[in-house]
Each structure stands twice: as C-alpha cells, then as structure tokens.
Amino acid sequence: MSCFSRGGLNLNSQYYEKAIQERIREKLLEAGATSLPRAVTIEESKLDAEERNWLSYIAGGLFSAVKKTSDKRYYVTEYYH
C-alpha cells in the first residue's frame, strides 16, 4: 500500500486524499463559496501550491463536495460525506 509522508507522518493515500479534500473544502467555505453563484477563483480561495495541484483531481466528480464551474471557479456543494 502506498503512503505519503507529510510533516514526519506517514499517511495512507486514502486518508491523505481525504485530508487534502477537507483542507480545500474549508478554504472554499472561508471564502464564501457555498453555491454556484458564489463560486470563487483559485486566487480568491487562497489555496496553497499543494492544494492547487490536487484541485483538478478532487473537483468535479459526481459525488465530489467541490465543484468547478465552466469559467474555472470553485464552490462547495451541500452534499458531503
């Protein structure tokens, strides 16, 4: 099983992905991106480089909590598991 190392901790890749997704979700919520009309750009969300790299992977899936608009803005959906 592959693991990632972050800050001296080894995290299973599934948990690491979930942690990154949660960080992105929290920053989008802080920026007020709670719906399509309130979607924000990457710059407005203040994502760091690591979060930006993960964004395209995390955003947009059918059951994803983070959605991407056609004009490259992002927001958090109500559905989150």
- Residue pLDDT, tens place only, 44-73: 999 999 999 999 888 977 888 899 999 999
Q: Quick check: is 31 in a domain? A: yes
CA angle 6, 72, 60 (to 5 degrees): 65
This model's pTM is above 0.75: yes
- Helix (H) / strand (E) element for 14: namely helix 13-30
Place of tokens 């983070």: 66
Q: Quick check: is 32 in a domain? A: yes
Instruction: Give the torsion through C-alpha atoms of 74, 75, 79, 81, to 10 deg.
Output: 70
Q: Which domain holds residue 36?
A: 9-76
Kindly state the average pLDDT of the residues 70-79: 88
Q: How many domains does the chain have?
A: 1
Question: 3-state SS of the chain: helix, strand, coil percent to 5?
Answer: 45, 20, 40
Q: Quick check: is 1 in a domain? A: no
Q: Quick check: is 81 in a domain? A: no
Place of tokens 């592959």: 2
